[in-house]
Amino acid sequence: MFRSILVTGGCGFIGANFVRLLLERGHAKIVVLDKLTYAGRLENLAGVDVPIVVGDITNLELVRHVCKTHNIDLIVNFAAETHVDQSILNPFVFTQTNVQGTHVLLEVARELGIRFHQISTDEVYGTIDGDHHSLETDPLRPRSPYSASKAAGDQLVQSYHVTYGLDTTISRGSNNVGAYQFLEKVVPLFTTNAILDLPLPVYGDGLQMRDYTHVLDHCTGILAILEHGKIGEVYNVGAGATISNLEMLEILLETVQKPKSLIRHVADRAGHDKRYSVNVQKLQQLGWNAQFSPRAAIATAAKWYLEHPNYWQPVRQSASFKAYYERQYANRLEAAA
């Protein structure tokens, strides 16, 4: 379909899995643009033969140069700051990348006539009450600096479609799990904690409901949108089922064969959304269906970390990760002791 695809944030968790899927599906030319922040790692694309340009999506001249040099006709924007806890600690970084960076990419896409796909999140809908499953037409009610910055990016994308006629689509994914996810996220963090016999600091009562989706299901969903989706539309991507964070912990502990006694309930984070759940019928109408249940997705992800200690051990031993973990969890665990 596309002559040359630019994957921004392609050295991150979901982006790297998407690059690998594109290559498996026979897409000939893929270019990665990544700032290589703490969560963007060259190791995520080890053994993958694609050009990797190191740079920031907020740099308009760089983005324009990359797109012209490689004759890009599709941008898939994974580049983002994504961790809610980090957004509470340092919100300005999130607006810079997720809003300004998205705007730069859109402007270059408009100048050069490039189709644009935005990777968003179900968190833009905010916490969901009752039995409702978020529809793509629901109002956006973000409740953290992270989700607010992603909602702003979505609205910029839609404004460029309406105002300039730019070919755009948006996917809003639920909580992804799988290979190459950075250790600040809950499943790899708690899996590696459990492997190391460290306590698992669960926010609040642990009854927050999430739609845990395997990253490969997310990536095939994005491909379905690119191949069959309607220009200008938004599509939810998820497993279509929710479980509580406590259930998630039980699954990963069972997978790595560690006891539930490692679970520690700690002080909740500010503005913690109680429930996310997306309606995925619109994407299913394109012929897509999730292949992993939330249980299978979590178990598969936990097993991957169990089998790949060489991937995550250097991260856990790094000074930056240790400082983050201390700042985020030390006081909470001490208070819960």
Kindly tell me the sign of the dihedral angle through the C-alpha atoms of 246, 252, 254, 260.
negative
Rounded CA separation 278/240 (Å): 7
72-81 as b/e, with b when 16 or more CB fall inside 10 Å?
bbbbbbbbbb
What does the DSSP 8-state code read for residue 42? G
Q: Which entry of 81, 136, 146, 273 is annotated as an active-site residue?
A: 146
CA angle 323, 181, 199 (to 5 degrees): 50
Neighbour order of strands in the sheet with 168-173: 52-54, 30-34, 5-8, 74-77, 115-121, 168-173, 234-237
Q: Is-contact 32 7, C-beta < 8 A? A: yes
DSSP designation for 330 = I
Site of tokens 């990348």? 97
Catalytic pick from 73, 122, 154, 273? 122
Tell me the sheet residues that pair with 119. Answer: 171
SS (H, E, C) 260-303: HHHEEEECCCCCCCCECCECCHHHHCCCCCCCCCHHHHHHHHHH
CA-to-CA distance for 331 and 334, rounded, in angstroms?
Answer: 5
Which residue is catalytic, options 73, 85, 123, 154?
123
Residue 18: helix, strand or coil by DSSP? helix
Residue 204 carries which side chain, given as an amino acid letter?
Answer: G
Catalytic site includes residue 122: yes
Helix locations, the chain, DSSP H: 13-24, 60-69, 84-89, 91-95, 102-112, 145-164, 186-195, 215-228, 245-256, 281-284, 294-307, 309-317, 319-325, 331-336
Kindly list the catalytic residues.
Answer: 122-123, 146
